[in-house]
Amino acid sequence: MSKRCTIKDIARRLGCTHATVSLALRGSNEVSAATIKQVAAVAQEMGYVPNRYATGLKNAKSKMIAIVSDSNFFLSRTAVMPELMACIQEANYTANLFYSNEFQGDPLEQALGGQPEGIIAIAGKKLQSVYAARAQSLGVPIVFLLGSAADLGEIDAVTINRQQAGYLAASHLLSTGHKRVGMVFPENDPVYTEPKVRGFVQALTDGGNEHPQRYLFPRKLTNDWVRDGYDFIGELLAMADRPDALFCSSARMAIGCFGRLRRGDLRVPEDLALLGYENSPEVAYLEVALSMVEVPTNELARLAVETVLHRIGEPEGAPMQRVLPPVVVARESCGFRQPGREAWKEQA
């Protein structure tokens, strides 16, 4: 068995004191940001794990569940996060969040250093197997949340059926009488986008559309998805041949699209119906309430926490996997009108 990497090994590699390495690994302001970044990179390269695991203190109950993500970009855009934090706290555990950034290095290693009793990870399919193997090698239960339903393998996971979400979106827009149905989506987010696009195209094909990809609009998005949606409608208004209904791959994009449409010459839903994705409470209170393909965030969070708690108590067993269906919530932006602005739900 290879020798476990220590702080002294890292210090020897860098030619500094072990006290400097210790401060850097804790993110102390007593050392520079450049030093923190350099130490984190070398620690990750050498496979360093804080000594609390090596000395057996893992047996002490930390009452902490770590939430790990390989992308802060994604965390800032998912409505499931507050629900997840609340469910963990209701189970009398502390929830600590770890995500990729330029100073802290690998978020999983940072989480493991805090001695969690379990981990809930949000990671792309390339990292799922890596994270699973690393956590399991230390006997730490790990559950994956919102991963690709087609790439779960032999891991514990709770996710949403994104292909079904795309299918529901196109089917709903067709059912409301629209013929030129389009979709705008981020081209730089394939894990979460491609299944929705496949489902969307399949529904159009099943509905008899001879050119199901005619109104697909992949866009390279920025960190501001509301502005991205706003700018896209500017492009759309300049098109001679444009859709009469649009599925936006996120709620924030739909809000941006709506804002630009209200400043232009197109009416919602008379000239362009709008349908968004995920959950965003404010969409129900806009001047024209936006229809959504909603993700059951409460259920996703509850099942993820239940699964990791089960694994903490019973580490062995077959993989526990749940793939939840989305739901269409129809409002005014797709032509649904009812006194009180109530919505109806179309279950898959």
**Structural domain count, the chain:** 2
Q: Are residues 339 and 207 in the same domain?
A: yes
Per the CB < 8 A criterion, the answer to whether 308 and 143 are in contact is yes
Instruction: Check which CATH number belongs to the domain holding 15 and give it.
Output: 1.10.260.40
Burial class (CB in 10 A: 0-12, 13-18, 19+), 53: middle
Residue 233 in domain = yes
pLDDT of 31 strictly over 70: yes
Q: Is the peptide bond before 107 cis (omega within 30 degrees of 0)?
A: no
Tokens 């390989």 appear where? 70
- Which SS3 state, helix, strand or coil, does residue 298 take? helix
Structural domain boundaries enclosing 36: 1-48
Confidence check: pLDDT of 4 > 50: yes
**Confidence (pLDDT) at 100:** 74
The widest CA-to-CA distance across the chain, in whole angstroms, is 72
166 and 44 in a common domain: no
Q: The whole model's pTM is what?
A: 0.76
Closest to 152 in 3D by CA, of 326, 316, 321 = 321
Report the C-alpha gap between 276 and 282 in whole angstroms: 12
4 part of a folded domain = yes
Closest CA to 121 of 92, 98, 150: 98
Dig out the tokens for 43 from the structure: 């620690």
Tell me the pLDDT tens digit for each residue of 73-105. 555 556 788 889 899 999 999 999 888 765 567
Q: Which two tokens stand for residue 197?
A: 């696009």
